[in-house]
Amino acid sequence: MMPRPPSAFDRLDRPAALTTRIEQMLRHAIEEGRFESGKLPTEVELAKQLGVSRETVRLAAENLQREGLLVKVRRRGTFLKAPELPDRIEAAAPMCLGYLQAGYPAAPGQEEAVTRVVSALMLQGALEEAAQAGYHLAVSHASYTRIGQILRQVQTEQRLRGLLFAHCGEEKLLRRAAGLGLPTVLLDHDMQRTRVSSIRDDSHEAARLAVRHLAELGHRRIGFINWRQEDLNPWRLQGFRQGLRDAGLSRRLAWEIAVELTSEGARKAVGQFLALSPRPTALYCFNNSLANLVIGELEGQGNRVPADVSVLGGGGEEFPGLTCHQADWFQMGRTAVQLLLQSIANPEQTPENRLCPHRLQVGRTTGKPGTIRGR
């Protein structure tokens, strides 16, 4: 055997990066249930406790957000993301409220991620408010076509005190709930013809706000990329059209593009947009996720945002730099539980139909109109 050179050393194990170590510590803390309130300390507090920089904590938390363990809510903090919801309501405990959440398909066999972030925030708010009032929330998620089946299961459960319908408001379901004698509240939907309280975001005024912002920047041709299932949110399109009338702008049917809220939907929307002549100088998108996908498609085909076309999102998931309007989805969940508890306490009270306002968040994706290619 050859003698070992005197200059040779054993390879040292490289210590894990500080960000990775913080990420692992947070992951273990989550698994051990150390954040009982569902909310993490602030980045400043964590940095002080761990003796590291705030930037290190931020990077570690962002990795956990990408994994789906955390969700960051603007101006509220970082929360544990709601776990995957079961397909059926388990046996309810005393002082229990039912929470039926509808999902919508993007294509056969493919679940639509239309309301993923919004749903998580509303559910988090509802859970917190219910817990503070001493109630347990029995949660069930299913395709909107199966909500009726879930409700039939509820009929065998005698200890539910009330029902929350999230993203769903079919009259026959409401009549069936009324037949159970259960107070009911609609969340993120309304049907004012029925005697049921509701709370939803003010999509009509939000769309007017979006058009007003773009018009004030000087845009005279504004397009709208809407969700294909327009009947589930008719207020957004109505508000868009009213915003155009308010600003004295012309409306063209070809500038209203309806697609699925998916990557393929964004590709179709951008393809239709680029084929237009004249083209809008600004695009208002149904939600932030669609706006982000549209921006990616536009830039991938050599179009500059906002130099060539401005893009504004209609709320939901937070994307840094995106101009959008945003509602307080967390508070909507809390308010829905408050309305339900009022109905339980006083079944004869007049139903309330509340609207949650949006606020405008100006980012880097809108600006004054430039020279549009293909005009």
How sure is the predictor about 145, in pLDDT bands with cuts at 50, 70 and 90?
low
State the virtual CA torsion across 259, 263, 267, 269 in degrees, nearest 10.
30
pLDDT at 90: 47
The residue-averaged pLDDT of 26-34 equals 78
In what side-by-side order are the strands of the sheet with 310-312? Answer: 256-259, 222-227, 282-285, 310-312
Through-space distance between the first and last CA atoms of the chain, rounded to whole angstroms: 78
3-state secondary structure 57-81: HHHHHHHHHHCCCEEEECCCEEEEC
Q: Determine phi and psi for 115, rounding to 5 degrees.
A: -120, 25
**Neighbouring C-alpha atoms within 13 Å toward the C-beta of 5:** 4
pLDDT score recorded for residue 168: 61
Query: What share of the chain has pLDDT > 90, as a percent?
Result: 42
Alpha carbon separation from 164 to 38, 94, 184 (Å, rounded) = 21, 17, 6
**Residues 308-349 pLDDT 10s:** 999 999 999 899 999 999 999 999 999 999 999 999 898 888
Mean pLDDT of 232-255: 95
Structure tokens at 346: 């006083």
Lowest-confidence pick of 130-134, 227-231, 260-264, 281-285: 227-231
280 preceded by a cis bond (ω within 30 of 0): no
* Fold equal for 18-80 and 96-202+328-358: no
3-state secondary structure of 152: helix
Measured in whole angstroms, the distance separating CA 360 from the mean position of its chain's CA atoms is: 16
| Predicted local confidence at residue 13, as pLDDT | 45
Are residues 223 and 257 in contact, defined by beta-carbon separation less than 8 angstroms? yes
User: Would you state the structure tokens that stand for residue 168, as one six-digit string?
Assistant: 């769903």
- How far apart CA 366 and CA 135 sit, in angstroms, is 44
The stretch 258-284 carries a mean pLDDT of 95
pLDDT at 85 over 50: no
Measured distance CA(319)–CA(321) in Å, rounded: 6
CB half-sphere exposure, 311, CA atoms < 13 A:
30
| CA torsion angle 162 165 170 174 (round to 10) | 0
Ramachandran region, residue 215 (left: φ > 0; alpha: ψ -120 to 50; beta: rest): alpha
Please name every residue paired with 339 in a beta bridge, in sequence order, or none if there are none.
none
Whether residue 240 has pLDDT greater than 90: yes
Class of the CATH-defined domain 203-326: alpha beta
Contact 82, 123 (CB under 8 A): yes
d(CA 185, CA 337): 8
CATH of 96-202+328-358, one of 3.30.70.1350, 3.40.50.2300, 3.40.50.150, 3.40.640.10: 3.40.50.2300
> Domain-by-domain residue ranges, the chain?
18-80, 96-202+328-358, 203-326
Fold of 18-80: Arc Repressor Mutant, subunit A (1.10.10)
What letter represents residue 110's amino acid?
A: Q
302-328: string of b/e by CB count within 10 Å (b at 16+)? Answer: ebebbebbbbbbbbbbbbeebbbbbbb
> In the predicted model, is pLDDT for residue 98 greater than 90?
no
Residue type, 276: L
CB 363 within 8 A of CB 321: yes
Query: Confidence class of residue 373 from pLDDT cuts 50, 70 and 90?
Result: very low
Cis peptide before 306 (omega within 30 of 0): yes
